[in-house]
Structure 1
């Protein structure tokens, strides 16, 4: 599950950064400061997707925290840039997946430690 979270997080990070760059540029050209600002926050959310996906391979709990922070930023920017709601929910889904991957890995380590002690 860690590998899936990592790959999906990195891919969604690249896609959301590309979309947010286009929105920020369009907002700047149209002199819409709210949209340009929301696009800039979207670039940050995309970067957090990317970083969260990278951490998912080794530290899934850190990845879950990063995804939650990205989701909070996305919900803040969703008032001007409505697609950010989609990215926010995707962040929350990946955060839940990363948390469950961390929890199952922790249980696996605890189970193997208990087996070693009984031998």
Structure 2
């Protein structure tokens, strides 16, 4: 599951950053400062998607925390840029997946260290 979270997080990060760059540019061109600011926050959320996806391969708990932080920023920016609600929910889903991947890996380590048969 760690690999799936990593790949999905990286891909969604790239898509989110591309969309947010377009929104930030459009907001700047139309002098809509709220939309431009929300687009800038969206770029940051996309970066957090990307970083969370990268951490998912080795440190899934850190990844889950990064995804939750990204979700909080996305919900804040959702007042001006409504698509950020979708990215916030995707962040929360990936955070849950990363948490359960971490928990499973920890349980497997405990089984191995206690000498229990697999």
TM range (shorter): over 0.9
1:63 aligns with 2:58: no
1:13 aligns with 2:5: no
Give the C-alpha shift of residue 50 in structure 1: 0.0
For 1:18 and 1:74, how far apart are their aligned partners in 2?
15
Partner of 1:110: 110
Give the C-alpha shift of residue 3 in structure 1: 0.1
Partner of 1:39: 39
Give the C-alpha shift of residue 10 in structure 1: 0.0
TM-score w.r.t. length of structure 2: 0.98
Give the C-alpha shift of residue 18 in structure 1: 0.0
For 1:42 and 1:35, how far apart are their aligned partners in 2?
10
Secondary structure (helix, strand or coil) at the match of 1:80 reads: coil
For 2:90 and 2:63, how far apart are their aligned partners in 1?
14
Give the C-alpha shift of residue 84 in structure 1: 0.0
Give the C-alpha shift of residue 36 in structure 1: 0.1
Say what the alpha-carbon RMSD is for the aligned residues.
1.0
Give the C-alpha shift of residue 24 in structure 1: 0.0
TM-score w.r.t. length of structure 1: 0.97
For 2:34 and 2:43, how far apart are their aligned partners in 1?
14
Aligned residues between the structures: 117
Which stretches in structure 1 are left out of the alignment for 5+ residues? Answer: none
Secondary structure (helix, strand or coil) at the match of 1:82 reads: coil
1:54 aligns with 2:54: yes
Give the C-alpha shift of residue 69 in structure 1: 0.1
Which stretches in structure 2 are left out of the alignment for 5+ residues? Answer: none
Shift >3 Å, 4+ stretches: none
